Amino acid sequence: MAAKRAITGGKQTIDAVMEKGMFLCGSPATVREKLERYQQEIGFGYLLPLLQFGTLPHELTKKKHRDFRA
């Protein structure tokens, strides 16, 4: 938990975490542009997203993620 707080700085606004690139939000085109820019800047071989939409509860998101990995 201490390591997580060191990275995130505790509670933050959605705008703050979006600025840091820790959270992507927007239209499909906006998210694609951000991912392309990050790929160019730092490069990555795999993209492992955890997707949660609208009112989808956190627990159901985690369940769907586990089901997908299986």
Instruction: Convert the pLDDT of each residue in 6-45 to its tens digit.
Output: 666 667 788 888 888 788 888 889 889 999 998 999 888 8
Q: Around 30, how many Cα atoms within 13 Å sit in the side-chain half-sphere?
A: 7
With bands split at pLDDT 50, 70 and 90, how would you rate the model's confidence at 2? confident
What confidence score (pLDDT) does residue 33 get?
92
pLDDT tens per residue across span 38-66: 899 988 888 877 776 777 787 877 775 55
Question: How many percent of the chain have pLDDT more than 90?
Answer: 9
Residue in this structure with the two tokens 């627990």, named with its chain if needed: 59
Q: What is the mean pLDDT of the chain?
A: 77
CA distance 56 to 34: 24
Contact 64/52 with Cβ under 8 angstroms?
A: no
